[in-house]
Amino acid sequence: MLKTAIVNQKGGVGKTTVTLELGAQLAITGKKVLLADLDPQANLTSGLGEKENAGATVYDLLTNKASFSETVRETATKNLFLLPAERKLAGLETELANFDEKEFLLQKALEAINDFDYAFFDCPPSLGLLSVNALVAANKVLVPVLCEYYSLEGLKELLKTVKLVKKYLNPDLSLDGLVFSRFDNRLGLDKYISDSLQNSFGSAVYKARIPKNVTVAEAAGRGMPASIIFKNCKGSEAYKRLAEEFSEKQEAYK
């Protein structure tokens, strides 16, 4: 099972939507996909039409109050499964302040799970305990970025954290790539920043650009991926290209 942390400490960059739609596109192709919602806001959970109080959540899984089988939920999308979040995750870092090896909780919870093709971890907008758990449990890091100068500053800090996690906690961790979210090729700034990152990171930058798309946001409000209910909208088509590129990249790693 390839495990990918979708992370950026800046909020509003599209982490949850990338997690949801990339996972859905891969599920459409017949891959069995696990999505883990590690954000206390639980937007991924609600975006899949799930209620955080309808059973065990990631909070219960990480605090050893529920097993994986008790926590995982089958979604309305075939082949797509969810580890849901809840608001109590916000206090987890304080609750586990004196807990040994707290950075390895997610890794341990998933270590015996191997019947999925892909797992994606939707991280909160911070580099705290939950994001570190995702980085420790993951093989790859996928970073959604906006074409804004503030995003570039945050990217530098994120890559420093990834480097530290790789050095001290997870030597198998590596950068999968950067994906531009809410991209508008009519804007000079978007083109300038995308070209700059392309020059710096080369093939690590995904060719697929995710455009601003109201229809994708509308789908989240309906509790279903746009890739399922609005298959032909521009956003869904962009995520299909991203999923194809992602799959090709993983095959090349083998």
pLDDT digits (tens, 9 = 90+) for 103-129: 999 999 999 899 999 999 999 988 899
Band of residue 9 on the pLDDT scale cut at 50, 70, 90: confident
Residue 127: φ, ψ to 5°: -110, 40
Determine the average pLDDT of the residues in 141-148: 87
User: What pTM was computed for the model?
Assistant: 0.93
pLDDT digits (tens, 9 = 90+) for 189-203: 677 777 777 777 888
Question: Residue 22 contacts by C-beta under 8 Å, 6 or more apart in sequence?
Answer: 120, 239, 242, 243, 246
pLDDT digits (tens, 9 = 90+) for 63-77: 999 999 999 999 999
Band of residue 228 on the pLDDT scale cut at 50, 70, 90: confident
**Domain count for the chain:** 1
Chain mean pLDDT for the chain:
89
Find tokens 């990338």 and name the residue.
18
pLDDT digits (tens, 9 = 90+) for 87-96: 999 999 899 9
Three-state secondary-structure class, residue 114: coil
Three-state secondary-structure class, residue 128: coil
Spatial distance between the Cα atoms of 46 and 191, rounded to a whole number of angstroms: 33
Spatial distance between the Cα atoms of 162 and 135, rounded to a whole number of angstroms: 7
pLDDT of residue 91: 93
Residue 184 has pLDDT above 70, yes or no: no
Which domain, by its residues, includes 165? 2-253
Residue 163 has pLDDT above 90, yes or no: yes
- CATH code, domain with 214: 3.40.50.300
> What percentage of the chain reaches a pLDDT higher than 90?
60
pLDDT of residue 186: 62
pLDDT of residue 218: 78
